[in-house]
Amino acid sequence: MASRLFASVLDIATPGKFPRAQKWVWRRVYNLLSLFWTDADWRFMNYGYLPEGEPFPLKPEDEPERVFIGLYQQAVAGLPVEGARVLEVGSGRGGGSRYIARYYSPSSVTGMDYSPDTVRRARRLNDDTPGLSFENGDAEAMPFGDESFDIIVNIESSHCYGDVPAFGREVARVLKPGGWFTFADMRPKNQLTALDEHLAVPGLELVERRDISARVLAALDAAEARKSERINRSWGMKRFMSEFSGSKGSMLYKGLKNGSVVYVARRYRKL
| Per-residue pLDDT tens digits for 187-230 | 999 999 999 999 999 999 999 999 999 999 999 999 888 777 76
Model pLDDT, residue 25: 60
Model pLDDT, residue 203: 96
- Count the Cβ atoms, other than its own, within 10 Å of residue 41: 10
Model pLDDT, residue 5: 43
Model pLDDT, residue 125: 93
Model pLDDT, residue 265: 98
- Count the Cβ atoms, other than its own, within 10 Å of residue 206: 13
pTM across the whole model: 0.87
Model confidence pLDDT, tens digit, residues 141-154: 999 999 999 999 99
Torsions phi, psi of 24, nearest 5? Answer: -60, -45
Question: In terms of DSSP H, where are the helices of 52-125?
Answer: 66-76, 95-103, 116-125
Residue (of 50, 87, 113) closest to 180 by Cα position: 87
Residue (of 202, 107, 102) closest to 151 by Cα position: 107
Model pLDDT, residue 93: 92
Model pLDDT, residue 43: 85
Model pLDDT, residue 8: 44
Model confidence pLDDT, tens digit, residues 129-140: 999 999 999 999
Residue (of 74, 134, 2) closest to 263 by Cα position: 74
Which residue ranges of the chain lie beneath pLDDT 70? Answer: 1-42, 230-238, 240-241, 244
Model pLDDT, residue 149: 98
Residue (of 135, 30, 55) closest to 88 by Cα position: 135
* Domain count along the chain: 1
Model pLDDT, residue 103: 98
Model pLDDT, residue 40: 57
Model pLDDT, residue 21: 57
Model pLDDT, residue 225: 81
Which CATH number do you get for residue 128? 3.40.50.150
Which domain does 209 fall in, by range? 2-270
The residues that bridge with 110 in the sheet, in sequence order, are 87, 133
For residues 247 and 253, the answer to whether their CB atoms sit within 8 Å is yes
Model pLDDT, residue 60: 96
Q: Taking CA 162 as the corner, what is the angle to CA 45 and CA 251, rounded to the nearest 5 degrees?
A: 50
